[in-house]
Amino acid sequence: MTETYGAKCGFLLIGLFSVAMGACAPSTARAQPDELREFEAARQAYTDADYPRAVQLFEPLVGGPVPSIQNAALVLESRKYLGAAYLFVGRPTDADGQFEALLRADPAYLIPAAFPEAVQEAFESVRHRLASHTRTAAEESARRERERRAAELRRLVAQQERIRRLEHLASLEVVEHDNSRAIAMLPFGIGQFQNEDNRLGRILAYTEGGLALISLGTAIGRVVQRSRADRLDPTFLRRSRTAVILTNWTSFGALGVVALAGMIQAQVRFRPRIRHERVRPLPPSLELPGDADATPPWDAAPPSDATPRARDDHDDSADTAGDLSLSLGPGSVGLRLTF
């Protein structure tokens, strides 16, 4: 009997202390007399250990989605008592709901030590669960923010790449020139160089040039032999003359065969028109926004003006170190051969 009376006095002091703290704390509205009376009646039922009646009296105050009382301190205290009463009547889920609403309104709230251990354990369990949910929500929010920033960065990079590509395309200039079949009939690989078959053109130029030099040299040697025939040994003269004549005929015949084969090949692989792309500087009024000095994001750098690139199926861009250049004009043909 003495213990029950002491417990009731303890709960009475806790209730009076809670109400006094609520009256001193700032709130959106001061507690009305009716609210205080209803709270005291419900708290008295809890103090008397009449938990079903305490639940019955506290539920109209804070049991619904929106509390019927306006004083914030009374709302917190009512949720505390209602949650404890729910535990004692076997409704732990409802108790957790009241404790969660209390902690969401005041995360630093503490259950007084005078409350039973079961109430304090349930209250701390809800606090830990809310803290875990808060951490998870914060991590998820941070992850979404990182993904948003990464997506924005990818969008900006793609936009910059598109701008660079557009600027590159705007700076390209297509140059066309028509080839001549008459030039394709010339020896020394000229027809191949006109068709931009530079590798074969070099081979024919070197081969035909060498054969021409041999033929010319042996012809000169034959003239020298004739001029000095009276001063040379007849046997040596006869043998050297045979060798010079044979070499001259062989080189000249080979020159004719190679030159004829080159002409035929140039006619068979004749390209009437050749197109080149070259980069030209854009006028300031046509420059697109973006870093024009940055390295293009694609693999192949754009061709420079000095080495235009042909747009054809047969691309000899690896041989563009020009060995021969042709210039066509009205009434004139220019030829330059560089070894």
pLDDT digits (tens, 9 = 90+) for 174-211: 777 788 888 878 888 888 888 888 898 899 899 989 98
Lowest mean pLDDT among 54-58, 219-223, 237-241: 237-241
Residue 46, pLDDT score:
92
What residues form DSSP beta bridges with 334? 327
Lowest mean pLDDT among 27-31, 194-198, 259-263: 27-31
Q: For residues 181 and 247, give the distance between their C-alpha atoms in angstroms, rounded to a whole number.
A: 33
Q: How confident is the model at residue 165 (pLDDT cuts 50, 70, 90)?
A: confident
Question: At CA 73, angle to CA 68 and CA 75, rounded to 5?
Answer: 30
**Is residue 119 predicted with pLDDT exceeding 80?**
yes
Residue 76, pLDDT score:
92
**Paired tokens of 122:** 């349930």
Q: How many CB atoms lie within 10 A of CB 209?
A: 16
Residue 94, pLDDT score:
92
- Estimate the crossing angle of helix 33-47 against helix 72-88, to 10 degrees: 20
Q: Please answer whether residues 24 and 32 qualify as being in contact, where contact means their C-beta atoms are separated by less than 8 angstroms.
A: no
Q: Please answer whether residues 68 and 60 qualify as being in contact, where contact means their C-beta atoms are separated by less than 8 angstroms.
A: yes
**Paired tokens of 38:** 């209803």
Q: How confident is the model at residue 67 (pLDDT cuts 50, 70, 90)?
A: confident
pLDDT digits (tens, 9 = 90+) for 207-230: 989 989 998 888 887 787 777 766
Strands 273-279 and 172-178: antiparallel
Give pTM, 2 decimals. Answer: 0.40
